[in-house]
Chain A
Amino acid sequence: MIWETVRLALRSVRRNALRSFLTLLGIVIGVAAVIAMLTIGSGTTQKVKADISQLGSNLLIVRSGRPAAPGSGPQQTIRPLGEKEVAALAAHLEGARAVSPASQKQVRVVFGTESLTSSITGTDNAYLDARDWKVTSGRSFSESEVRGGINACLIGETVRRQFFGAGDPDGASIRIGRMSCKVVGLLEPKGYSGFGQDQDNVVLMPLSAFQRRIAGNRDIETIYVAADDATPTQVVQTRIEDIMRDVRRVTADREDDFSVRDMTQIADAMASATATMTGMLGAVAGVSLLVGGIGIMNIMLVSVTERTREIGIRLAIGAHEKHILIQFLVEATVLSLLGGLIGIAIGLALAGAASLALSIPFVPSLAVVLLAVGFSALIGMVFGFFPALRGARLDPIEALRHE
């Protein structure tokens, strides 16, 4: 009986192919949008997590300013980090594999006729160690380069490709702002981060050179600390906080004017930000599903009116109200389910294409797909109910007279 009804509904959908298609469009767009959003969203989340775990879960990041959540309002005047914090951590911190200062700025880099805005980081060799970053050709900084603030550079893969193509960058001199800098090594490619940031569009140089020629001050933005494998990150974090309070003379009754966070905390914060974003976009897409549902209700009302005579015949030869109700409910459900299935296909295709373009993993979720199927069926039932009830309540005598 139910299979009969489904077949009948499919036939009716096919008979009014164009009309059915236009009605479906609302559901198709809605479901496609939701599926694409959620799939891309979870791909991004996964990428963010993967990136950050690649950075190393034992990496700790020290910055100045109170350890408030990002976006929680303006901070008070910040006392920047400096040489003495780095020196103190390097001298007294136990259980750390690497302690490295780093400051960063976006600067235009020029070589020959080519130019590129790149992320310039002033740091030392410990940075490579802390971030687990290898030099694939050439060498890292020498002791004297770091100490003397010599203009020596390590460049990322994107910078190399832009300026040197297939050629060898070693020993070439590139312009960074108003200084020139000799390329001494090439960094291992890291690809895009979860936020679509090119991690290979970087130039590293000795911190003192950066401070003097680029930043124009002696501040340090970030101190990276890599805990060694034997010491839990949590323990190292506490030790860093103690040393920092001591160096910066933060008494027990005052709040810290610096923050120490490990990568898992940052990963969680970023993942939850991504999830919130995904949820919001999904909700917006969901509104179009509602509109699609109203479209279905509209077309089902038309269908019931058009087929008043058919309903009269069916009632006369013994159909119950519930038979008519079910017939039109199934038709509405089939219609919106069909829209849902097409929408899922399109949504997954869109998400797949986006994943390729943004180089994030493509993670279709069975749960999301099933949810979309269920939701589109539900929309058909909810919005098909009123028209179906109208059909079922028709008076057979009146309906038979209907032209």
Chain B
Amino acid sequence: MSPAPLIVFDKVWKTYGQGEAEVRALAGIDLAIGQGEFVAIMGPSGSGKSTAMNIVGCLDTPTSGRYGFMGVDAGRLDRNRRAELRNLYIGFVFQGYNLLPRTTAVENVELPLIYRGVPAQDRRALAMKALAEVGLEDREHHTPAELSGGQQQRVAIARAIVTRPTLLVADEPTGNLDTARSHEIMQLLTRLNEEYGLTIVMVTHESDIAAYAGRTIAFRDGHVASDTKKLEAA
């Protein structure tokens, strides 16, 4: 009935260490996230949500089980293939922005395009367009140090969407921002989700931030504790 889900966790285990010191970060997770969903992932630290996010973002691979991304068994790809996958289909937004220091906003946004081999003049145009989408077209030559936290996070979002990704992975995107700035960022993410059908998977601690998402998944001790969908407004 519904199209094949974008993200599929099939009995995904992730363990660190060996023997006595073995830590189970994920203990047989089953999960499916469809194209165009906006999912918030919550849970206390140590619940496995970060590990799950790393697998979703193709930064990490399961110890056992299958992680399917866009129908590909992404858990079995080597690191360079996963890098390609990230470059082509996934955008990242981090709590600490993670912009390159002493590098202008527009150059930061261009970065993923460089690894895609986009020619320089096309890169500049695409980066300017992405900056305009986050409302920072007049800050293109500012370096991160010259921008506020909210603006830095917008640059990071522009960098994440400049490649027109299928999936946006956001790791506590409002963690370093005050309430007003947090809500601005969330409105921006919501707009991207609604206008472009961008699938968003976001980790957050705050329930009012999670409330922007259409679906909230809570992790506890490496298991999915709850998975609730917001009721659609009629």
Interface residues of A (CB under 8 A from B): 1, 4, 15, 309-310, 312-323, 396-397, 400
Residue of B nearest to A310 (CB): B100
Answer whether A320 and B115 are a contact pair too, CB < 8 Å, given A309-B98, A315-B83.
yes
Is there an interface contact between B115 and A317, defined as CB atoms closer than 8 Å?
Answer: yes
- Scoring B residues 99 to 126 as 1 if CB is less than 8 Å from chain A, else 0, what string do you get? 1111000000001101111001000000
Q: Which residues of A contact B83 (CB under 8 A)?
A: 315, 318-321
Q: Which residues of B contact A1 (CB under 8 A)?
A: 114, 117
- Scoring B residues 69 to 90 as 1 if CB is less than 8 Å from chain A, else 0, what string do you get? 0000000000110011011100
Question: In whole angstroms, what is the CA distance A243 to B231 when docked?
Answer: 124
Is there an interface contact between A318 and B87, defined as CB atoms closer than 8 Å?
Answer: yes
Answer whether A318 and B86 are a contact pair too, CB < 8 Å, given A313-B100, A400-B94.
yes
Q: Which residues of B contact A309 (CB under 8 A)?
A: 98
Question: In whole angstroms, what is the CA distance A320 to B80 when docked?
Answer: 5
CB distance from A5 to the nearest CB of B (A): 9
Q: Quick check: is B54 within 8 A (CB to CB) of the other chain? A: yes
Q: Looking at the complex, which one of B59, B88, B91, B112 makes contact with A397 (CB distance below 8 Å)?
A: B59
Q: Which residues of B contact A320 (CB under 8 A)?
A: 80, 83-84, 115
Q: Looking at the complex, which one of A316, A321, A322 makes contact with B86 (CB distance below 8 Å)?
A: A316
Question: In whole angstroms, what is the CA distance A315 to B90 when docked?
Answer: 12
CB distance from B52 to the nearest CB of A (A): 13
Is there an interface contact between B102 and A317, defined as CB atoms closer than 8 Å?
Answer: no
Secondary structure call for the A interface: helix
Q: Quick check: is B154 within 8 A (CB to CB) of the other chain? A: no
Question: In whole angstroms, what is the CA distance A312 to B111 when docked?
Answer: 13
Is there an interface contact between A316 and B92, defined as CB atoms closer than 8 Å?
Answer: yes
Provide 15 A-B residue pairs closer than 8 Å at the C-beta atoms, listed in order of the A residue.
A4-B114, A310-B100, A310-B101, A313-B98, A314-B115, A316-B98, A317-B86, A317-B91, A318-B116, A319-B83, A320-B80, A320-B83, A321-B79, A397-B60, A400-B98
Q: Quick check: is B66 within 8 A (CB to CB) of the other chain? A: no
Q: Looking at the complex, which one of A310, A323, A397 makes contact with B115 (CB distance below 8 Å)?
A: A323
Q: Quick check: is B49 within 8 A (CB to CB) of the other chain? A: no
Is there an interface contact between A316 and B114, defined as CB atoms closer than 8 Å?
Answer: no
Q: Which residues of A contact B88 (CB under 8 A)?
A: 318
Answer whether A396 and B112 are a contact pair too, CB < 8 Å, given A317-B86, A318-B83, A320-B80.
no
Q: Which residues of B contact A321 (CB under 8 A)?
A: 79-80, 83
Residue of A nearest to B116 (CB): A318
Is there an interface contact between B117 and A318, defined as CB atoms closer than 8 Å?
Answer: no
Q: Which residues of B contact A312 (CB under 8 A)?
A: 98
Answer whether A317 and B100 are a contact pair too, CB < 8 Å, given A323-B115, A397-B59.
no
Is there an interface contact between B92 and A317, defined as CB atoms closer than 8 Å?
Answer: yes
Is there an interface contact between B59 and A396, defined as CB atoms closer than 8 Å?
Answer: yes
Residue of B83, B88, B112 with most chain A CB atoms under a 10 A cut-off: B83
Question: In whole angstroms, what is the CA distance A323 to B92 when docked?
Answer: 19
Q: Which residues of B contact A15 (CB under 8 A)?
A: 102
CB distance from B124 to the nearest CB of A (A): 12
Residue of B nearest to A12 (CB): B102
Is there an interface contact between A318 and B100, defined as CB atoms closer than 8 Å?
Answer: no
Question: In whole angstroms, what is the CA distance A333 to B53 when docked?
Answer: 38
